[in-house]
């Protein structure tokens, strides 16, 4: 890893939002049962060469958010807010422009993407396809490139001639990563890229991903529920719960010093092998993930929260500066807080605040929201 | 008591004209009420071995035994066997029919086996799998669920038959933190309350540490180390097991194995791990005088015994873990 000074994402004065900027993005699916608010107002920014990890449990809206970035959502989804990719408004792009952007600027490694492979075509042909379709290489050059790409993801060149069913799950996922790399995008959105992989391949893929970011200035949004994996790969983390960001900050800080109780539970979820306290005692968070159609009022985490206050049932806190300790001097160059959390316990006075309002189910943000979110 | 058993099982495929020895001589037992974790790298043959134990693949040689008797591969016998030994597949999205509701997906097994009380069965399976209240999920289609919710439907489908053994292929790989704990705790609870056994196929050593009694580490079609979890995972003897433990995110000195990923159509001679072995490459095997054997002398197949066993010349001579 490079030193913190040379990593663009960790410099306080780094031009955030250089590549990607989300403002109050919300996604609602229309379904037979009613509207599903899957993403509810997410703002975040990503600099060139920066790696952002998005964590959260299933159903929290991570994939929906990722798909929204390139307008890959089904027609039943309504997206509002603003998504600026390299200065261009993604939500206003024509389809032609969008198609070009999807390969050349940003590409997605989908969750469970192994199914996206065509079962009756050799994987080499499938990796070469975007290069040929977008006229980025001659057929001969594409063949060489396929070999390079396979090597990069740790597969021998002869695998180009294999069919998907001849590969194991992990091998197919690596083919998908090779496809995402084919057109040398500026931004890679990797939705659970290593979740289905064994630890060794995960280590290889993470090493590969880290070298791509460090060596070529590729930006990364990596989605996972495994905070330890994200912390080892990304500069910053954003933790999602029920369609919102509940904590953002530098990776190590969020992983080892989470301020939101949900992030804390995520950080503690995976046992340390050899630690006898976790032997035959899997640890998890009680309760069920919330149904986005029936979100609890107040802080949506309150029914599962081990440290909830009575006011949490009606009071909804937005992201708030949560730098470790007030006595630690803030970096003079940073006007925006680097660590934020949406929890009443990071407020200067948790007990103070507005009385329950008559807005019913509506969220009632307490205090001023943090200026910078991620 | 041994319930499910693999005896010198070999499973082969033909891959582009070449013979792939996906499972290349495995002895493994799952006792009554026992949870065994089968761990190893992608493509090492875990799923193939699991499918063979379920009667979904036929061994080229060797045998699968259940309750002491070898499997009979008639349609009828297999149907009865599948009620006892249920698969929780690796990949929830691929295994759910997109046109079936959650209710239909979970009711399928009980219907095939003509079990009574379908609605209660489905409801109880769903809620045991953490989809609560279950009635709300009855009319929902897979595409309306997130990945983790789909996996829970799949687990509910297996639980709906009240099986004796679960063969769970990466049961929590796609689940988030809270569900992970809940499903693992569920396996422990099912074992405690019903004596349910499980073979859990996983690359997740933390899972093995969380719930398994024994662990078997597989490499390129063979089990290279097996034994009680505390022993194998706290003091691994095989260089491959040591490497696997070293790449856990919080580990101080990762040994990221490079080299050609294991390919069952080209199983190396000698110790099959030798082209990637860090102990051999680092010269320690030569110091111990076993490097010649590492490269050329085939290792014998590990027996299925409760105690610790390791298939490594270096571990045999050095005895103490590295
Ligand atoms: N039907 C098949 N035809 C040819 N080769 C196959 C077939 N099924 C599996 N293989 C090969 O057999 C080996 C073992 O595959 P298997 O699916 O059992 O691996 P695994 O350990 O479950 O991997 P993962 O962790 O990625 O799921 C792999 O090299 C795979 O490519
Ligand atoms: N096509 C869809 N129609 C209706 N609801 C959906 C659809 N896709 C996802 N959802 C719902 O939106 C929420 C967020 O899902 P998703 O973005 O997949 O979460 P994550 O990736 O964090 O697991 C979930 O409650 C899910 O059930
Ligand atoms: S605001 Fe209240 S309920 Fe929400 S996370 Fe903080 S303490 Fe828990
Ligand atoms: S037998 Fe030799 S090559 Fe094989 S794992 Fe042991 S030391 Fe390494
Ligand atoms: Mg997802
Ligand atoms: Mg498998």
pLDDT at A320: 92
Q: Whose Cα sits closest to atom 12 in ligand 2?
A: A38
CB contact under 8 A, A166 and B244: no
Task: Tell me, yes or no, whether A292 lies in a domain.
Answer: no
| Residue A373 clears pLDDT 50, i.e. is over it | no
User: What would the 3-class secondary structure string for B88-133 be?
Assistant: ECCCHHHHCCCCCCHHHHHHHHHHHCCCCCHHHHHHHHHHHCCCCC
Mean per-residue pLDDT over chain A, rounded: 81
Which tens digits make up the pLDDT trace of A298-347? 999 999 998 999 999 999 999 999 886 544 444 444 445 689 999 999 99
| Residue A95 clears pLDDT 60, i.e. is over it | yes
Task: Tell me, yes or no, whether A346 lies in a domain.
Answer: no
- Name the percent of chain A lying above pLDDT 70: 81
Task: Tell me, yes or no, whether A176 lies in a domain.
Answer: yes
Which ligand 2 atom is nearest residue B145's CA? 27
Residue with tokens 């919330």: A290
Task: Tell me, yes or no, whether A41 lies in a domain.
Answer: yes
Chain A residues near residue B261 by CB distance under 8 angstroms? 154-156, 171, 201
pLDDT at A16: 44
pLDDT at A123: 95
CA-nearest residue of chain A to B234? A274
The whole domain housing A14 covers: 4-263
What element of type H or E holds A24?
Answer: strand A20-31
- Name the percent of chain A lying above pLDDT 90: 42
Task: Tell me, yes or no, whether A142 lies in a domain.
Answer: yes
- What are the residues whose beta carbon lies below 5 Å from ligand 6 (ion)? B 47
Q: Which carries the bigger pLDDT value, residue B5 or residue A199?
A: B5
Task: Tell me, yes or no, whether A138 lies in a domain.
Answer: yes
Q: Does residue A294 contact residue A243 with C-beta atoms inside 8 Å?
A: no
pLDDT at A37: 96
Q: How far apart are CA A152 and CA B217, in angstroms?
A: 27
* Averaged pLDDT, groups of 10, chain B, 322 residues long: 96 90 97 96 89 96 96 94 88 86 96 94 88 93 80 87 91 73 82 89 90 97 97 96 88 76 88 96 96 96 93 87 46
Q: Which carries the bigger pLDDT value, residue B193 or residue A16?
A: B193
Q: Which carries the bigger pLDDT value, residue A366 or residue B132?
A: B132
The ligand 4 site (C-beta within 6 Å) comprises B 239, 271, 273-274, 277, 279-280, 285, 290, 294, 312-314
- Which residue of B182, B206, B211 is in closest CB contact with A273? B206
Domain span(s) for CATH 3.40.50.300 in chain B: 2-217
Asked if B250 reaches chain A (Cβ–Cβ under 8 Å), the answer is yes
pLDDT at A158: 93
Q: What is the pTM of this model?
A: 0.76
- The structural domain count of chain A equals 1
Could you tell me the CATH number of the domain that includes residue A176? 3.40.50.300
Which ligand 1 atom is nearest residue B262's CA? 29
Asked if A284 reaches chain B (Cβ–Cβ under 8 Å), the answer is yes
Q: Is A274 left (phi over 0), alpha (psi -120 to 50) or beta?
A: left
| Residue A80 clears pLDDT 60, i.e. is over it | yes
**CATH 3.40.50.300 matches B2-217:** yes
Q: Is A87 left (phi over 0), alpha (psi -120 to 50) or beta?
A: left
| Residue A195 clears pLDDT 70, i.e. is over it | no
- Which residue of A58, A274, A280 is in closest CB contact with B148? A58
Residues 57-116 of A with CB under 8 A from B: 57-60, 63, 111-112, 114-115
CB contact under 8 A, B249 and A273: no
Q: How far apart are CA A162 and CA A122, in angstroms?
A: 5
Chain A residues near residue B132 by CB distance under 8 angstroms? 288
Task: Tell me, yes or no, whether A355 lies in a domain.
Answer: no
Which tens digits make up the pLDDT trace of A101-147? 887 788 777 666 556 788 999 999 999 988 888 777 899 999 999 99
Q: How far apart are CA B125 and CA A31, in angstroms?
A: 25
pLDDT at B69: 96
């Amino acid at each position: 890893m490079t030193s913190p000074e040379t990593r663009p994402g960790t410099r306080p004065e780094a031009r955030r939002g250089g590549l990607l900027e989300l403002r109050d993005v919300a996604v609602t699916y229309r379904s037979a049962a009613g509207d599903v608010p899957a993403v509810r107002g997410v703002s975040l920014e990503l600099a060139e060469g920066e790696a952002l990890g998005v964590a959260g449990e299933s159903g929290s809206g991570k994939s929906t958010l990722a798909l929204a970035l390139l307008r890959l959502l089904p027609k039943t989804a309504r997206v509002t807010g603003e998504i600026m990719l390299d200065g261009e408004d993604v939500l206003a792009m024509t389809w032609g422009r969008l198609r070009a952007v999807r390969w050349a600027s940003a590409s997605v490694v989908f969750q469970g993407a192994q199914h996206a492979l065509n079962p009756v075509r050799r994987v080499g042909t499938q990796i070469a396809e975007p290069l040929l379709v977008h006229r980025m290489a001659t057929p001969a050059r594409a063949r060489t490139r396929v070999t390079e790409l396979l090597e990069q993801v740790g597969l021998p060149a002869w695998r180009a001639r294999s069919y998907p069913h001849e590969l194991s799950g992990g091998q197919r996922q690596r083919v998908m990563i090779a496809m995402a790399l084919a057109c040398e995008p500026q931004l890679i959105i990797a939705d659970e890229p290593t979740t289905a992989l064994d630890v060794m391949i995960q280590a290889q893929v993470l090493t590969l991903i880290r070298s791509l970011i460090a060596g070529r200035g590729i930006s990364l949004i990596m989605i996972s529920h495994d905070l330890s994996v994200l912390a080892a790969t990304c500069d910053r983390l954003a933790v999602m719960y029920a369609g919102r960001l509940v904590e953002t900050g530098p990776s190590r800080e969020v992983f080892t010093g989470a301020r939101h109780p949900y992030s804390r539970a995520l950080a503690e979820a995976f046992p340390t092998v050899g630690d006898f306290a976790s032997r035959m005692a899997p640890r998890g968070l009680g309760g069920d993930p919330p149904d986005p159609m029936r979100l609890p009022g107040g802080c949506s985490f309150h029914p599962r929260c081990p440290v909830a206050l009575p006011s949490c049932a009606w009071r909804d806190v937005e992201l708030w500066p949560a730098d470790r300790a007030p006595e630690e001097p803030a970096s003079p160059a940073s006007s925006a807080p680097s660590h934020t959390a949406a929890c009443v316990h990071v407020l200067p006075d948790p007990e103070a605040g507005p009385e329950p309002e008559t807005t019913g189910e509506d969220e009632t943000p307490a205090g001023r929201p943090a200026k910078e979110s991620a | 008591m041994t319930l499910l058993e693999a005896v010198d099982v070999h499973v082969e495929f033909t891959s582009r004209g070449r013979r792939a020895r996906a499972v290349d001589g495995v002895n493994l037992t799952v006792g009554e009420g026992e949870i065994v974790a089968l761990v190893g790298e992608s493509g090492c043959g875990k799923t193939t071995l699991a499918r063979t134990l379920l009667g979904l693949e036929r061994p080229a040689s060797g045998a699968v035994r259940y309750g002491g008797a070898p499997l009979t591969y008639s349609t009828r016998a297999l149907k009865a066997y599948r009620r006892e030994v249920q698969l929780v597949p690796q990949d929830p999205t691929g295994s759910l029919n997109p046109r079936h509701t959650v209710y239909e997906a979970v009711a399928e097994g009980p219907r095939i086996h003509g079990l009574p009380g379908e609605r209660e069965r489905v409801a109880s399976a769903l809620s045991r799998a953490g989809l609560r209240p279950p009635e709300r999920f009855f009319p929902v289609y897979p595409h309306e669920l997130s990945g983790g919710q789909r996996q829970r439907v799949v687990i509910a489908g297996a639980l709906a038959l009240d099986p004796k053994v679960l063969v769970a292929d990466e049961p929590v790989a796609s689940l988030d933190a809270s569900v992970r704990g809940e499903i693992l705790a569920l396996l422990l609870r099912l074992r405690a309350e019903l004596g349910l056994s499980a073979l859990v196929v996983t690359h997740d050593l933390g899972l093995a540490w969380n719930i398994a009694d024994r662990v078997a580490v597989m490499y390129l079609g063979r089990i290279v180390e097996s034994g009680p979890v505390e022993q194998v995972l706290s003091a691994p003897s095989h260089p491959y097991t040591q490497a696997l433990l070293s790449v856990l995110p919080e580990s101080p000195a990762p040994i990221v194995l490079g080299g050609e990923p294991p390919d069952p159509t080209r199983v190396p001679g000698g110790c099959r791990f030798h082209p990637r072995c860090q102990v051999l490459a680092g010269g320690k095997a030569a110091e111990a005088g076993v490097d010649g054997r590492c490269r050329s002398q085939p290792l014998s197949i590990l027996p299925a015994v409760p105690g610790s066993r390791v298939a490594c010349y270096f571990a045999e001579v050095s005895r103490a873990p590295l």
